[in-house]
A and B are shown apart, each in its own frame.
Chain A
């Protein structure tokens, strides 16, 4: 029987060790009330945070709640275009889909007036010159290319101010 020969041949190939089952899922993102304010701010070239009515902390972007107190944050706060590098890393590893030339700097930036840092790309400085406390400013895309997305911020760059004192940002590391 031909079938039996086929089965024997398949058995000789050994165990299957890999099975590819491609998966793709699409989602519609709902940013919510607070994050919509932040995203609409980006569309206007502004950083909009929110203040906790209880502890006074300013979050950017706000998710609508103070993560410490669990109460709604309803007061919008416009933040400065400048901030301080609290910590950073230098990316030297190439990976698929990389759009920036290595080495490049990925930093946590604490905007003036905010009580939480967020991640930003640092450019216009050699990677080996980045340091904690460096003062930086946001560089935005051209006004006609602003969208409700962090892609509206091209990157941060040193703004020439003297470094911030460690004491001023040590609580945000």
Chain B
């Protein structure tokens, strides 16, 4: 029996509005509230609504990034919750906050939700912070950094004959060239793949170009259902949304594939129709190859036209930004059906897949 045998047609929910800050290496001028306020104002303002039109708020962030306890609570000051609102938070990328809001919208009691996330990657040492998400007894005490773990995965991919270092360079070159058209991108340039292969290794087989930038960035989305979905904007419908996780034990996984992504793609109905564009949260270049295969995408699909996470990778936000970028491609008429993907954990441990469709 299929894992998704019981899949039902979900209540139509639209990405009514999306906004993100300009992604930067380090914003040392603003605190999290000050970073969020203009983005929250924009996500409401572009569709002419206020916080009073929202029934539910869900945010995604982690206090580990800025070392500030309850930063996720104080961030709510950017919205202003009076009269009191129903509100929630996930210690996850904003894509999972969107998932929680979407589930609540499925129940039919509310019609609109604000989802926001903030990822300030610059105040601490990400190599140390991200080690703390690993097995606390046997792995975290070794402080393995995320680049080294990704390099293990890239090495396994090469040894399996599924990719070459030239493939990584080609993905990085294309991504950052596409980012030249994205005014919010942090790293955008036009460097041929052959030139990138002259880079030194950071951790073999990964050269600098195959690594994501360190990024400070925030993003927000308004979800709408019922009458509001049509009143507020031309709808971009979420037709499927699913997320799956794999074991904590890196040694127990085949790092060259992503069964959790494949399962989530099945649950979200990716293959129910043709996909025009995919926004894939592959922080490391080689991960795009693994994820494209897991999502079942062929060569006709435009991948990461925004530049993707190789152009800007604000932690806790880059996943939600994928959904927002994919929705923007549809609302601007450049795509009809799109898939957005978000990841969390080491070496693509947990994955979320969202299918979007225009009218």
- Residues of chain A having any CB pair with chain B under 8 Å: 19, 21, 23, 25-35, 63-72
Query: Counting CB contacts under 8 A, is B152 at the interface?
Result: no
Partner of A25, one of B82, B124, B136: B124
Counting chain A CB atoms within 10 Å of each CB, which of B64, B77, B136 scores highest? B77
Given A27-B67, A27-B123, A33-B29, residue A64 in contact with residue B140 (CB < 8 A): no
B31/A35 in contact, CB under 8 A: yes
Partner of A63, one of B67, B77, B128: B77
Query: Counting CB contacts under 8 A, is B9 at the interface?
Result: no
Partner of A64, one of B37, B40, B82: B37
Closest B residue, CB atoms, query A55: B82
Query: Counting CB contacts under 8 A, is B149 at the interface?
Result: no
Neighbouring B residues of A72 by C-beta, 8 Å: 34, 37
Neighbouring A residues of B104 by C-beta, 8 Å: none
For chain B residues 67-98, which have a beta carbon within 8 Å of chain A? 67-68, 74, 76-82
Given A63-B31, A64-B31, residue A25 in contact with residue B128 (CB < 8 A): yes
B98 to chain A, nearest CB (A): 20
Neighbouring A residues of B163 by C-beta, 8 Å: none
B120/A30 in contact, CB under 8 A: yes
B37/A70 in contact, CB under 8 A: yes
B123/A65 in contact, CB under 8 A: no
For chain B residues 31-71, which have a beta carbon within 8 Å of chain A? 31-34, 37, 40, 51, 64, 66-68
Partner of B137, one of A21, A29, A35, A65: A21
B29/A32 in contact, CB under 8 A: yes
Q: How far is the CA of A64 from the CA of B51 in the complex (A)?
A: 18
16 further A-B contacts with Cβ under 8 Å, apart from A21-B136, A64-B31, are A21-B140, A25-B124, A26-B125, A27-B67, A27-B123, A29-B67, A29-B123, A30-B31, A30-B66, A33-B29, A63-B31, A63-B74, A67-B76, A70-B37, A70-B40, A71-B80
Proximity bits, B186-229, A CB within 8 Å = 1, else 0: 00000000000000000000000000000000000000000000
For the complex of A and B, 3 pairs with smallest distance between CB atoms: A70-B80, A32-B31, A27-B67
Closest A residue, CB atoms, query B79: A70
Partner of B80, one of A19, A27, A65: A65
Neighbouring B residues of A65 by C-beta, 8 Å: 33-34, 37, 77-78, 80
Partner of B123, one of A19, A30, A71: A30
A34 to chain B, nearest CB (A): 7
Partner of B30, one of A19, A26, A33, A68: A33
Neighbouring B residues of A68 by C-beta, 8 Å: 80-82
Q: How far is the CA of A28 from the CA of B125 in the complex (A)?
A: 10
Closest B residue, CB atoms, query A72: B37
Query: Counting CB contacts under 8 A, is B141 at the interface?
Result: yes
Counting chain B CB atoms within 10 Å of each CB, which of A32, A63, A66, A70 scores highest? A70
Query: Counting CB contacts under 8 A, is B132 at the interface?
Result: yes
Neighbouring A residues of B66 by C-beta, 8 Å: 27, 29-30
For chain B residues 122-142, which have a beta carbon within 8 Å of chain A? 122-125, 128-129, 132, 136-137, 140-141
